[in-house]
Amino acid sequence: MVSSRTRMKNAKQIGFLAIAVVIVLVATLVFQQWWGDRKQREPEEVSITVSAAGQSLEVFPFSICEPGVPCEEAEVPEISLGKDDSLKVTVPEDVADHDWTLLKIYDDPKANDEQAFGPHEATEASAPAMVEEYESKLVVCEVTSIMIGHDDEGNETPYRVTWSVRAKIND
């Protein structure tokens, strides 16, 4: 026979377990609601910052493409650098929280370089104005990332987003 003390103990344990299950369910529902309602910027609203030689420039996407769809390209802004300067690129959390790349294009293709960053790995990177080894000047710097945006019907869809800036090296 099971004593009333054992039955009481079992009832308490079942009660605590039921309360714990309810707490986990409520927390899950609250999190899902918050996740679904959070305000996320569209790719065209996200800018990066480039700076060099005391000047700073806010750069909006050069191209935004759905996979398999041709890209329309925008105007590429220009920033001036001295030969000894570096172009500093700063990306916002919208970009830094997932994979992104920095492509550095020089007037000698041997000097070209690409850096890849993982989620939360970096918010800044730089590109030297000159690569002395090749006597090559920086021509263009591009940041590329995959972002989620909304298509014409309002559905979430991935986009390949590229921010581009042209470098003008002052002699």
Instruction: For 67-100, write each residue's pLDDT tens digit.
Output: 888 888 999 999 999 999 999 999 999 999 999 9
- pTM for this predicted structure: 0.78
Q: What is the pLDDT of residue 2?
A: 64
Q: What is the pLDDT of residue 97?
A: 94
Beta carbons within 8 Å of 119's beta carbon, 6+ residues apart: 96, 97, 98, 99
Instruction: For 91-145, write each residue's pLDDT tens digit.
Output: 999 999 999 999 999 999 999 999 999 999 999 999 999 999 999 999 999 999 9
| Predicted confidence (pLDDT) at residue 34 exceeds the cutoff of 80 | no
User: Residue 89: which of 127, 121, 120 has the closest Cα?
Assistant: 127
Taking the alpha carbons of 126, 129, 132, 133 in that order, is the dihedral positive or negative? Answer: positive
Beta carbons within 8 Å of 23's beta carbon, 6+ residues apart: none
User: Residue 160: which of 171, 148, 150 has the closest Cα?
Assistant: 148
User: Angle at CA 7, nearest 5°, toward 4 and 10?
Assistant: 155
Residue 20 has phi, psi (to 5 degrees) of -60, -40
Helix runs in the chain, H state only:
4-37, 93-96
Cα–Cα distance, 89 to 50 (Å, whole number): 5
